Amino acid sequence: MIVSFSIFSQKAKKVQIIYSGVTTFDDAKFPGATILTRDSERLVEIYHDGAILTCQRAIVYKKQNLFKAFGNVLIKQGDTITQTSKYVDYNGNTKMMLSHGNVVLKDPTMTLTTDTLNFDRKNQLLFYKHNAIIKDETNTLKSKIGKYFLENKKFTATTKVTVTNPEHVLESNHLDYYTDSSIAYLYGPSTITGKDNTIYTERGFYNTKTEISHFVKKSKIFFKDKTIEGDSLYYDRFKGFASATKNIKFIDTIQNFIAKGNYAEFFELKDSTFIVDRAVAISLMEKDSLYIHGDTLLVTGKPENRIMRIYNDVKIFKEDLQGKADSIHMNQTTGLTRMFKNPILWSGKNQITGDSIQLLNNKETDKLDSLKILNNALIVQLDTIIDGVSTYNQIKGRNMFGKFIDGKLKHFLVKGNAQVVYYNRSETGLLETITKQECSSIEFTLDETNNIESVKYIKKPEGTSYPPKDLPINDRTLKGFIWREDEQPKTMEDIFIVGDKIPKKKKITNSKLVKAKVKE
């Protein structure tokens, strides 16, 4: 039997019954309803506003313009959307449809599977509250609650969302996902787990097809042996390239090392990181940290052979050790740090200079182990300042080798052309004599307050101790002496101060000693 209702109201189009094998009525159970049942040859067919529904059985309330469909329910909307389920409840006035039981909806870009689905045909919107699975050509999306906008092919998924494919698993509690482009926009704490790394972010853009992403809130990339984070983080997984801006942090989990700055680039295949704009490297050692700042910071190499280079106006700060150089080269595997071009270190009261300075870290104890000053090695110590007059103890040689004990400089060996200027004072601080001597090699030690505690000459020295009045002022300093205290970073923030320069040596007059000043 074919029955057609073609009556339309101004408010809504009427539901049309296209085919029914058997038509019955049961006012006791279904008052005012028409009961449609399929026959052996054909299913029940119902049409409404561009959509055709077929089923085993339907109950139509034509006055109310709604129906209920049961058994093998199939809906086709145009040529693009099909849906199957066990049950459908449809209101022709509001064009709202509720489907139950093994619901499967397909459009050209995806397949949605759930147990209960709401379909707002007027706004072309699907929504579910009891878990759904969406598959497109790239990913499988699962979420507890979500909406799908058919016209722009966008899912808004919330609560326990996962997007998976062979390359990654994305987990979030809120995202927008476009099935035609495979792009996800993340709006809350989200984790992307790949084969080689894991990404965490709280807001960003992720193209699951091209593996290009841009994250803008609390974003981090966790690699096997390092972590990169920044306010803004761009990552191309296929190229192995990442860039970060503002408050970036590079964490080397194997070498116990952190680098910071405001712009960084990371090349995964080359295992290298480039950092500029307030770049600072932080080596975690003992209970203290060593900070090194320069215009440019470059970290290269695998963990077993990792090298760090810092260029241009490099400064070092540690509570008991500060320094400065044009550039620094650090081998994080061997623990060797080399300082180049006008290097200088300050340790307590001691100023240390040479053509090249090397520091060696003990990898087992994670403490500074030894120090080398190569060519024109000079250690200067402020003796005292009386009435504006400064005096300095000085030890110089071709090369100098220092030893750290419990992280503090303790022993020194000066080899080759060793020279000494030392102010001998009484217990009350009265200057008694000034020692000026030369020897091929010298050993000396520092006490707990960094004062020179003892001096040992390897061979018999040449020179003597003079009464102060017998040693001219100009003879009280060794060649190459410049007091550079004004360049010393006294706090960690001082390493970022720019503009200081190495001063020219100032002439020391006979009238009084003049402490060298640094031109700002």
CATH number for 491: 2.60.450
Residue 328 maps to a domain: no
The answer to whether 323 touches 339, Cβ cutoff 8 Å, is yes
Neighbouring residues of 121: CB distance < 8 A, sequence distance ≥ 6: 49, 51, 77, 95, 96, 97
Q: Is 474 helix (H, G, I), strand (E, B) or coil?
A: helix
The answer to whether 469 touches 431, Cβ cutoff 8 Å, is no
Residue 260 maps to a domain: no
Of 63, 88, 106, the position where a domain reaches its end is 106
Tens digit of each residue's pLDDT (9 = 90 or more) over 54-93: 999 999 999 999 999 999 999 999 888 999 999 999 999 9
Placement of tokens 């507890």 in the chain: 144
Q: Between vectors from CA 254 to CA 253 and to CA 256, what angle results, nearest 5°? A: 65
Count Cα neighbours of 452 within 13 Å in the Cβ-side half-sphere.
25
Residue 311 maps to a domain: no
Residue 449 maps to a domain: yes
Show the domain range for 407.
344-520
**Count of structural domains within the chain:** 2
Of 73, 90, 106, the position where a domain reaches its end is 106
The span from the CA of 468 to the CA of 14, in Å, is 117
Confidence at residue 388, expressed as pLDDT on a 0 to 100 scale: 80
Of 85, 106, 127, the position where a domain reaches its end is 106
The span from the CA of 75 to the CA of 73, in Å, is 7
Provide the β-strand partners of residue 90: 67, 97
The answer to whether 97 touches 74, Cβ cutoff 8 Å, is no
CATH number for 47: 2.60.450.10
Residue 69 maps to a domain: yes
Tens digit of each residue's pLDDT (9 = 90 or more) over 466-514: 998 998 888 899 988 999 999 999 999 999 987 654 444 433 333 332 2
Q: Is 104 helix (H, G, I), strand (E, B) or coil?
A: strand
Confidence at residue 512, expressed as pLDDT on a 0 to 100 scale: 32
The answer to whether 169 touches 160, Cβ cutoff 8 Å, is no
Q: Between vectors from CA 489 to CA 487 and to CA 495, what angle results, nearest 5°? A: 105
The span from the CA of 76 to the CA of 47, in Å, is 10
Residue 127 maps to a domain: no
Confidence at residue 275, expressed as pLDDT on a 0 to 100 scale: 95
Residue 305 maps to a domain: no
Q: What are the b/e assignments for 1-25, b being 16+ CB within 10 Å?
A: eeeeeeeeeeebbbbbbebbbeeee
pLDDT-flagged residues of the chain (< 70): 1-11, 285-286, 499-520
Residue 7 maps to a domain: yes
